Amino acid sequence: MSLATPLLAVVATMVFGGALFAVLGKDPVQAIATIFWEPLFGEFAFFYRPQLLIKGAPLVLIAIGLSLGFKAGIWNIGAEGQYIMGALFGAGVGLAFYPMESAFIFPLMVLAGAFGGWLWAMIPAILKVKFGTNEILVSLMLVYVAEQFLASMSLGLLKNPEGFGFPGSRNLQQYASAHNAELITGTGMHWGIVAALVAVIFAYVLLARHQLGFAIRVTGEAPRAARFSGVNPTRLVLFCLGMSGVLAGLAGMFEVSGPAGQVTIDFNVGYGFTAIIVAFLGRLHPVGILLAGLLMALTYIGGDIAQSQLGLPAAAIQVFQGMLLFFLLALDVLTNYRLRFGAGEVV
Amino acid sequence: MDLSAINPILFVAGFLIAATPLIFAAIGELVVEKSGSLNLGVEGMMIVGAICGFATAVETGSPLLGFAAAAVGGALLSLLFAFLTQVALANQVASGLALTLFGLGLSALLGQSYVGIKPPRLGDINWGPLADIPVIGPILFTHDIILYLGLVLVIAVWAMLKYSRMGLVLRAVGESHDAAHALGYKVKRIRTAAIMFGGACAGIGGAYISLIRVPQWTEGMTAGVGWIALALVVFASWKPARLLLGAYLFGGITQLQLNLQGAGVAIPVEYLAMSPYVITIVVLVILSRDKSAAPASLGRTFHASS
């Protein structure tokens, strides 16, 4: 049942999403086919398939980190902010070395990106363990702070001095030492995708085989039992928030040095929030998240195609993704409870 | 920099307006949380309210109808949350997040053809000679009816919670749903009603931003006000009077940073713009030591077992 509900939710979303597209005056079957079929098997699939990896990698990276916390009841919903900070730290280190060429620059940027995300996630983590502050609200507030910080950086410190006054940094794609280039030409494979796969394996081993993974699971399912079994809640909060910050920061760093190329005001496109849907769609399981991330990437790409071919508004895809989370949560009742019809009201 | 450009009377009148969306959203959420549900979808309900109200006001030419539509829109969206958490017994945090993500998308979709339009203006109430009193007149008596409605609502909720039977039942459900259930109260029905009230309030708050405060429609225009409202409920320790105080504090900060931007202070615009969020965090830290005021059943799923 726990495998069937995500699939059921996808089907239900297709049906209701199709209805939504019909209301918008588009052919529902064609719209759904454009979103789910075209990128994989359509005429231009050779172009879209690499995109699937490029868009899926940040989603999977962030969602893996989030899922660790979600499992333990620690809610980091500010991954978008950590993603921005990772990108700023990573790009900042890279740009500081410009125009020097060295093999050390990219690894340093990776470290800086991870550090940036970690730092931003440590704010809600430390406030939570020191003062009991709600991590949901703090991490979310920090997204808005990070967005303003991004605007300030792309208009100020990191602005391209040769950019004719336009906002935005130098393009890292044109700076060989800092460029997160394709590893195998034509596949879209870059270091971020490697990192995402490593994260999936890491999370799987952690949850299935490691003491810390056990602590995470037991805290989520029975907090009291966790306390009796000697789980240290402070360490757990710091680890879960820190890890999700590191992974979100890495996602931002790989994005800014690769597919995006530069720091701009509108650099972040909401991966940090979509990753929440990915984490739940993957049932907080590493392998599930990998598949869910690819599916969500598909809706992004398919949505873009539907936008250009059918004139489907971009917001319709956002609604579509939101719907998916609704159906998933609603159908979870089938996994968590056994329904009995006709039993009447409990008196 | 020219601080004398800030007119103190206009500033105070402005921050009353800036605080109103917060008052509506937060007082609604306060009732929801008093009933024991934690709806993190305030931002989503606000933005849907903002576009429902805006679209209706533009189409009908009546801002008041717009506010009514915003309340209905917010309440309908909150019904989704009620279904997920009360019927499907889903996790409240996840359901609230879903509501926000869905609401942001839905509002963007509904609002496509309303970008760049000016909504009809809601006139100020005519207080007659009261408005001519120096200083106090322009501050207190030059506003629209919704702003006063917000204040009335806060007082009404306070009185309802403190003095009425309905308030007692609501608090009982929020403190111990098992005990309330044993006494024969319909826990789910009461919570659903509270959630819908919260949705309607959030919707009106959103519409206040799109119809009066800004006034126009842009995607994602609530910009975290819904989340600040959630923080405000914690800030207020679930007490309506402190909530009002908090809303004016945040409204004041928002208005002050906007005025400072306008006055050309040496601080960069971005750092001024992030100040309300930073201050929210600081306030949360100062106040989060005391958790005793929170309703005891807050965020817990109720499932009547036979």
- The whole-number pLDDT of residue B289 equals 65
Whether A344 is covered by a domain: the verdict is no
pLDDT tens digits, A225-237? 888 888 888 888 8
The residue to which tokens 């280190």 are assigned: A93
**What is d(CA A225, CA A231) in angstroms, rounded to the nearest whole number?**
9
Residue span of the structural domain in which B86 resides: 3-290
- Residue B16 confidence (pLDDT) above 90: no
- The whole-number pLDDT of residue A347 equals 43
Q: In this complex, is the C-beta atom of B258 within 8 Å of any C-beta atom belonging to chain A? A: no
Top residue of A329, A332, A338 to mutate, by most chain B CBs within 10 Å, is A329
- The whole-number pLDDT of residue A24 equals 78
Q: Which residues of A touch B219 (CB under 8 A)?
A: 315
Domain count, chain A: 1
Q: In this complex, is the C-beta atom of B90 within 8 Å of any C-beta atom belonging to chain A? A: yes
Closest CA to B265 of B6, B9, B8: B6
Top residue of A148, A221, A266, A299 to mutate, by most chain B CBs within 10 Å, is A148
CB-nearest to A326 from B80, B228, B271 is B80
Whether B306 is covered by a domain: the verdict is no
CB-nearest to A132 from B223, B227, B291 is B291
Written as six digits, the tokens of B253 are: 């900060």
- The whole-number pLDDT of residue A1 equals 59
CATH number, residue B125: 1.10.3470
The H-or-E segment that residue A171 falls in is: none
Top residue of B42, B78, B178, B270 to mutate, by most chain A CBs within 10 Å, is B270
- The whole-number pLDDT of residue B214 equals 80
- The whole-number pLDDT of residue B108 equals 85
Question: Is the CB of residue B281 less than 8 Å from the CB of residue A135?
Answer: no
The number of beta carbons lying within 10 Å of the beta carbon of residue A65 is 32
Domain count, chain B: 1
Cβ distance of B108 and A330 shorter than 8 Å: no
Cβ distance of B281 and A138 shorter than 8 Å: yes
| Sequential DSSP letters for chain B | --GGGS-HHHHHHHHHHHHHHHHHHHHHHHHHHHTT---TTHHHHHHHHHHHHHHHHHHHS-HHHHHHHHHHHHHHHHHHHHIIIIIS---HHHHHHHHHHHHHHHHHHHTGGGTTPPPPPPPPP--GGGGGSTTHHHHHSS--HHHHHHHHHHHHHHHHHHHSHHHHHHHHHHH-HHHHHHTT--HHHHHHHHHHHHHHHHHHHHHHIIIIIS-S--TTTTTTHHHHHHHHHHHTTT-HHHHHHHHHHHHHHHHHHHHHHHHT-SS-HHHHHTHHHHHHHHHHHHHTT--TTS-TTTTPPP----
Q: In this complex, is the C-beta atom of B268 within 8 Å of any C-beta atom belonging to chain A? A: yes
Whether B170 is covered by a domain: the verdict is yes
**What is d(CA B272, CA B107) in angstroms, rounded to the nearest whole number?**
27
- The whole-number pLDDT of residue B306 equals 45
Question: How many residues would you count in chain A?
Answer: 347
Whether B305 is covered by a domain: the verdict is no
Question: Is the CB of residue A248 less than 8 Å from the CB of residue A125?
Answer: no
Give mean pLDDT, residues B227-244.
84
CATH number, residue A148: 1.10.3470
Whether A341 is covered by a domain: the verdict is no
Residues in B 222-251 with any Cβ partner in A closer than 8 A: 223-224, 227-228, 230-231, 234
Q: Which residues of chain A have pLDDT under 70?
A: 1-2, 339-347
**What is d(CA B236, CA B246) in angstroms, rounded to the nearest whole number?**
7
Cβ distance of B98 and A75 shorter than 8 Å: no
Q: In this complex, is the C-beta atom of A308 within 8 Å of any C-beta atom belonging to chain B? A: no
Q: Return the amino acid letter for A230.
A: G
Whether A184 is covered by a domain: the verdict is yes
pLDDT tens digits, B246-279? 888 888 888 887 777 777 777 777 888 888 888 8
What confidence category does residue B24 fall into, taking pLDDT thresholds of 50, 70 and 90?
Answer: very high
Cβ distance of A148 and B271 shorter than 8 Å: yes
Q: How far is B123 from chain A (nearest CA, A)?
A: 33
Whether A264 is covered by a domain: the verdict is yes
Residues in B 273-302 with any Cβ partner in A closer than 8 A: 273-274, 277-278, 280-281, 284-285, 288-289, 291
What confidence category does residue B201 fall into, taking pLDDT thresholds of 50, 70 and 90?
Answer: very high
The number of beta carbons lying within 10 Å of the beta carbon of residue B206 is 36
**What is d(CA B158, CA B170) in angstroms, rounded to the nearest whole number?**
13
Q: Which residues of B touch A156 (CB under 8 A)?
A: 268
Backbone phi, then psi, for B118, in 5-degree steps?
Answer: -95, 130
Whether A73 is covered by a domain: the verdict is yes
Q: In this complex, is the C-beta atom of A8 within 8 Å of any C-beta atom belonging to chain B? A: no
- The whole-number pLDDT of residue B197 equals 93
Whether B303 is covered by a domain: the verdict is no
The residue to which tokens 């769609």 are assigned: A281
Q: In this complex, is the C-beta atom of A156 within 8 Å of any C-beta atom belonging to chain B? A: yes
C-alpha gyration radius of chain B = 19
Q: Which residues of A touch B304 (CB under 8 A)?
A: 346
pLDDT tens digits, B128-174? 777 777 777 677 777 777 888 888 899 999 988 889 888 888 888 88
How many residue pairs from chains A and B have C-beta atoms closer than 8 A? 135
What confidence category does residue B45 fall into, taking pLDDT thresholds of 50, 70 and 90?
Answer: very high
Q: In this complex, is the C-beta atom of A16 within 8 Å of any C-beta atom belonging to chain B? A: no
Residues in B 180-219 with any Cβ partner in A closer than 8 A: 219
Whether A221 is covered by a domain: the verdict is yes
Whether A185 is covered by a domain: the verdict is yes
Q: Looking at this predicted complex, what is its ipTM?
A: 0.82
Top residue of B97, B100, B222, B261 to mutate, by most chain A CBs within 10 Å, is B97
Residues in A 78-97 with any Cβ partner in B closer than 8 A: none
Looking at per-residue pLDDT, the higher value among A248 and B115 belongs to A248
